[in-house]
Structure 1
Amino acid sequence: MINVGLYYRVKKGHEEDFEKAFQGVINFLKTFPGFIDAKLYRRVDDPQEYLIYSEWDSLDAFRRFISSREYKDTTEYGKSILEGMPKHKVLQEINT
């Protein structure tokens, strides 16, 4: 299993737009092979910063998602409501 942290800074006044877009992506992901779960977090001391924390059964499944038309459409829309480039970190679970 892998976990992906997607970090975003949203332009002021577009927080609700970002949250609605996230919900749309989640609805799509519920049917996407290899997707397990995702949660949206907003930074307490800076409400324009968000983290999407997602779980995938494999790195290949996540790569298929970021190659999808739906992901590309969402990132294209995101350019209008985000400040700067998002940062993504992919982590792999260590079984001990």
Structure 2
Amino acid sequence: MLALIRYSVPQDRTEEFTARAYEIVDAFAGQPGFVRGRVSRSVDEPELWALVSEWDGAGFYRRALSAARMVMYPLMTLMVNEPSAFEDVDRP
């Protein structure tokens, strides 16, 4: 499954955000079910960022969120409030 957490990051917080976002990826990487993760930035709107991760299932992702909440806390005010968990859909 795919997890996509978007952030609206003011220009003057870019360096802080990037460092903390990679701390979140590192925290996720230590959790069961983690497949891979990355930090991405919009090419059209430079203040829009995404923390993208892949998991073996939604349960793994939800448990990882609980385990990483203290690392995630400093960036919570920058999060875009929207669903973040997406399941793969098989081709018909």
Shorter-chain TM band: 0.7 to 0.9
Percent of pairs with identical residues: 21
TM-score (norm 1): 0.79
Gaps of 5+ in 2: none
CA RMSD of aligned residues (A): 1.9
- Per-residue CA deviations over 1:6-61 (Å, capped at 9, x if unaligned) read 11101230011111111112222222111111121101122111012210001110
In the alignment, does 2:87 pair up with 1:88? no
Distance, in Å, in 1 between the alignment partners of 2:35 and 2:82 is 21
SS at match of 1:36: strand
Aligned residue-pair number = 91
Amino acid at match of 1:21: R
The residue aligned with 1:61 is 60
Task: List 4+ stretches of structure 1 deviating above 4 A.
Answer: none
TM-score (norm 2): 0.82
Higher strand share: 1
Matched-pair contact (CA < 8 Å) for 2:37–2:53: yes
2:69 corresponds, among 53, 67, 72, to: 72
Matched-pair contact (CA < 8 Å) for 1:9–1:86: no
Higher helix share: 2
